[in-house]
Amino acid sequence: MADDDPHRWLEDIAGEAALAWVRERNAETFAELTQSADFAALRTQIREVLDADDRIPYPVTRGKHLYNFWRDAAHPRGLWRRTTLASYRDAAPDWEVVLDVDALAASEGENWVWHGARVLRPDYQLALVELSRGGADASVVREFDLVAKSFVDDGFFLPEAKSTVSWIDEDRVYVGTDFGEGSLTASGYPRVVREWRRGTPLDDAVPVFEGEPDDVSVGAYHDPTEGFARDFVRRSVDFYRSELYLRTPAGLVRVDVPDDAHASVHRDWLLIATRSAWAVGESVYPAGALLAADFDAFLAGRRELEVLFEPDEHTSLDYHAWTRNHLIVVTLRDVKSQITVLTPTAAGWTRAPLADLPDTSSASICDTNPDVDDEYYLNVSGYTQPASLYRGDVGEQPEILRQAPAFFPADGHAVSQHFAVSDDGTRVPYFVVGTGGPGPTLLYGYGGFEVSLTPGYSGTVGRAWLARGGTYVVANIRGGGEYGPNWHQSALRENRPRAYEDFAAVARDLVGRGITTPARLGIEGGSNGGLLMGVMLTRYPELFGAVVCSVPLLDMRRYHQLLAGASWVAEYGDPDDPADWAFLREYSPYQNVHPDRRYPPTLVTTSTRDDRVHPGHARKMVARLRELGHDVRYYENIEGGHGGAADNEQLAHKLALTYEFLWRTLGTGPAAAE
């Protein structure tokens, strides 16, 4: 397709003509998918899961309170609320409402969506609340008094922008926002960070650091840990390279680690997670390792590094979290969680299991309180195992605080892991959940940005798909982080097709094992996973019976010029570089739709308020497919941001559309009659 794109007018996000086109497509999709009693029942069942009163209210500790943000049918925009640990242990905790977002939206005539709050340590009496209009990434920031439970008159305030803001003390914050021309990067994030004092104009805030226009973003933060108070500046050069600086009275001091490593500081310790091999003296540390050093000694030039974790062909570092005195390290062994506690002592680091926990496929640390103690909150679950929330102190057996309800019968649904062989011989893991018989199968994938897809319970998937007889599959393809940085980097830029070959290999393996047939195999993915779906549609259409493509990147010729797209050049390549465009054009879905190929039925969804991945990707792809006579339907939610929905009602509707389409196409529709 030539650069003079005939559908480029659909990139006009709120343009009258473009929105008229959106309304027409939505009406067609509604007429096709929403008129039956089955759709209404499905939407109700999904909404019951999303709004269930007995869901786990996941807490975070802030001083003497446990805070939680909660949405349900009566509070679709949500309640920010708090209680005490003693009350949380009760079956029905006594929740104190701090902020009612529904009431706020009604009183101010705004469609506010909660985007979180940054609470000032260590007193936890002030917060910087972020509110988004319709779910976009851009937020309004407003100072909030947690004692009075009200916004602060003449407090810190930032108008709508993709801002970064964090506390220094009760009278100062670090802020990066849209200060005017030249203050944002090409990706639309802050290029300039300043120190802003209460009661002074934002324009008078003191400059701290300026990045380059082609950087992704810059930001600064203050660590108020008693005895270790420090200020840091981080410059994100691209999605995977960054620079960390210590701010001192004499100026900024670079923390001299490789720019593709991630460095963090806690009390005495500097932790370094490597993304590539790092030679230090006579030692070479591999990609995917976790290293520790005394922070002050490292800044002074000493390079005494201790290896806390080193990967192997089956095991990778997932993440780590500090308590007051211990480091909790979560690793993945063939995509299953393992948790270890590492403790610095005068004799070196010791290690031990976190606790005697039941076997589980996935475990995640929800919260710790490293300023104060060794408390942690841990969530464990599996594909058929509803979540359990544990609270413990390192060294003691944890207690179960909450258990999530079961939303579908797990009996008869087995979970198994298999390995497909990709085109270059790489073994690619995937999980299968189902009854074992051949039938409608939904295959999910992502494969990008070093994101790992680990097992976890989904009441929505269970009710809408598994309980109705479907099989659910998750593919852990390259581009993700399941086996560490090398697994991700092996599908970067010109090697991107390896991720697509992996996904196709899983699809073939499912058919080869008798789990499904091509006509009854549906696929789903969003964002980068939406790009994956677009490539599967245009490059491997014969492998699938249905495609669901959500908030996708699809036009790789222009992605870097649309909203936050410039921040992903390190992942995909630069279309303006002829050498990069040479490999991008080979798979870019929008440029590879052809009139003479038969494509499976497709549903494309997005959000008008997605200010991360431009809705023009989805709009233009659907327009191109339609003009060539292919079987495609479209749904664009006005609100929702990159998540595609701003509340549970919108989310239930979007999910019901997805599963109704899949069941009609794969379960009882013409495609099932093979």
d(CA 309, CA 408): 38
The tokens describing 502, both together, are: 């992996």
pLDDT band at 646 (very low <50, low <70, confident <90, very high): confident
Please determine, for residue 415, whether its predicted confidence score (pLDDT) is greater than 90.
yes
Q: Does pLDDT of 669 surpass 90?
A: no
Q: What is the pLDDT of residue 1?
A: 46
Q: What are phi and psi of 190, to 5 degrees?
A: -60, 135
Task: Show the tokens assigned to 598.
Answer: 């038969």
Instruction: Identify the pLDDT of residue 3.
Output: 62
CA distance 487 to 96: 45
Three-class SS of 25-61: HHHHHHHHHCCCHHHHHHHHHHHHHHHCCCCCCCCEE
Dist CA 41 CA 652 (whole Å): 11
Sign of CA dihedral 47, 51, 53, 55: positive
Task: Give me the pLDDT at residue 357, please.
Answer: 73
Distance CA 331, CA 327 (A): 13
Give the side-chain half-sphere CA count within 13 A for 246: 19
Q: What integer is the mean pLDDT of 632-657?
A: 90
Strands across the sheet with 230-236, in order?
Answer: 217-223, 230-236, 242-248, 251-254
Helix, coil or strand: residue 107:
helix
The three-state secondary structure class of 69 is strand
Predicted confidence (pLDDT) at residue 674 exceeds the cutoff of 70: no
Cis peptide before 122 (omega within 30 of 0): yes
Q: What integer pLDDT is reported at residue 436 of this predicted model?
A: 79
What's the pLDDT tens digit per position in 234-263? 999 999 999 999 999 999 999 999 999 999
Tokens for 368, please give them: 């710790």
Q: How confident is the prediction for the chain on average, in pLDDT? A: 95
**pLDDT tens digits, one per residue of 175-211:** 999 999 999 999 999 999 999 999 999 999 999 999 9
The percentage of residues in the chain with a pLDDT greater than 90, rounded to a whole number, is: 94
pLDDT at 360 over 70: no
Please check whether residue 181 is in contact with residue 207, taking contact to mean a CB–CB distance below 8 angstroms: no
pLDDT at 361: 73
573 residue type, one letter: G
Q: What is the mean pLDDT of residues 340-351?
A: 95
Q: How far apart are CA 630 and CA 622, in angstroms?
A: 9
Task: Look at phi and psi of residue 480 and say left if phi exceeds 0, alpha if psi is from -120 to 50, else beta.
Answer: beta
Give the span between the Cα atoms of 572 and 479, in whole angstroms: 11
Q: Which pLDDT value is given to residue 667?
A: 81
Pairing of strands 217-223, 230-236: antiparallel
**Which residues, in sequence order, are CB contacts of 16 under 8 Å at separation 6+?**
none
* d(C-alpha 43, C-alpha 457), whole Å: 19
Q: What is residue 190's DSSP assignment? A: B
Q: Distances in Å between the alpha carbon of 471 and those of 12, 36, 219, 239, 661?
A: 39, 24, 44, 35, 16
- Is the predicted pLDDT of residue 642 greater than 90, yes or no? no
pLDDT of residue 321: 98
Domains and CATH numbers, the chain: 19-48+415-672 (3.40.50.1820)
298: closest CA among 244, 241, 233, 223? 244
529 sits in which H/E element = helix 528-539
Mean local confidence (pLDDT), 462-482? 97
Answer for the pair 461, 434: CB distance below 8 angstroms, yes or no: no
Residue 673 above 60 pLDDT? no
Query: Is 644's pLDDT higher than 90?
Result: no
Is the per-residue pLDDT at 672 higher than 70?
Answer: no
Residue from 95, 100, 84 nearest 53 by CA:
95
Q: What is the pLDDT of residue 668?
A: 61
| pLDDT band of 301, cuts 50, 70, 90 | very high
Give the strand pairing for 521-526 and 441-444: parallel
Give the CA count within 13 Å in the CB-facing half-sphere of 333: 7
- What pLDDT shows up at residue 670? 35
Nearest Cα neighbor of 195 from 159, 219, 228 is: 219
Residue showing tokens 């079987």: 631
Q: Quick one: average pLDDT of 487-510?
A: 98
Q: What is the pLDDT of residues 121-154, one digit of tens each?
A: 999 999 999 999 999 999 999 999 999 999 999 9
Which whole number is the average pLDDT over 255-274? 98
Tally Cβ neighbours within 10 Å of residue 189.
25
pLDDT in tens, 500-513: 999 999 999 999 99
Residues annotated catalytic, as ranges: 527, 642
pTM for the whole thing? 0.95
Is the distance from CB of 206 to CB of 194 less than 8 angstroms? yes
Structure tokens at 527: 């964002």
Helix 528-539 with 578-587: angle, nearest 10 deg: 70
Q: What is the mean pLDDT of residues 564-574?
A: 97
The answer to whether 662 touches 522, Cβ cutoff 8 Å, is yes
Q: Which two tokens stand for residue 442?
A: 């939904």
Beta-strand pair 546-550/602-607: parallel
Place of tokens 């300026």: 210
